[in-house]
Amino acid sequence: MSNYLDAVVKEHNPSKKKIDRAVIWLHGLGASGHDFEPVVPQLGLSDDMAVRFIFPHAPKRPVTVNGGMVMPAWYDILEMSLERKVDIAQIETSAQQINDLIAREVERGVTPEHIVIAGFSQGGAVAYHVALSHPKRLAGLMTLSTYLATDDHIEYSEANKEMPILIEHGSHDPVVPVVLGEQAQQLLSGKGYSVAYHTYPMAHQVCMPQIQNIGKWLNAVLA
């Protein structure tokens, strides 16, 4: 029996069917699972779709780049250089906690190929690690305003070589420079993944045109 992460759960199910789709969406540093909860009704998801959104809360831990302040964090960030020196072991631990949430959805009757893994900023780094290494085919991977921190540590899964990947970034992001999103897109495209990459004239945030595009993408990959 796993000790599952606490999470906010929100369902999109206008037709009151049995839930058979899921999106596990990770928040950024210092935030909470409530961060993206308001986005769900704005996505424009199909009315005949029954989707459970799981927004887990990251554990609280000291974060070196914030002077050791304790806050919700998926892992410690050791320095804010472009190389983004991070605590790899903590990313791997957080990834296992997300894999436990995937397993719980499977137990509830949602097959892995109907589960999307998503993450914003720090949560996106964990989402990359989870989805790219997951042993069973997933519906898709969505990463927002983030970076691929663990390329040298991921055991890339053959099962997910065909998985749709959506990478989105703000062109004026002062926290995670847009070049890091571009690097992830180029790295994964070079490995043969199908990557859709979009930028928006914004900072470290999300915007309504982006939310609408995310909804279209989710409608497609969860169809």
Active site amino acids? 121, 173, 204
Q: Facing residues of 176 across strands?
A: none
H helical segments located in 108-166 = 122-133
φ/ψ of residue 113, rounded to 5: -70, 0
**Residue 16 φ/ψ region, left for φ over 0, alpha for ψ in the -120 to 50 degree band, beta for the rest:** left
* Dihedral angle sign, alpha carbons of residues 146, 90, 222, 22: negative
Residues 61-88: b if buried by 16+ CB within 10 A, e if exposed: bebeeeeeeeebbbbbbeeeeeebebbe
Terminal CA-to-CA distance of the chain, rounded, Å? 31
Question: 180 and 158 in contact (C-beta within 8 Å)?
Answer: no
Instruction: Kindly give the pairing relationship between strand 51-56 and strand 60-63.
Output: unpaired
* Spatial distance between the Cα atoms of 161 and 158, rounded to a whole number of angstroms: 5
The structure tokens listed for 90 are 């903590």
> Would you tell me how many other CB atoms lie within 10 Å of the CB of residue 42?
13
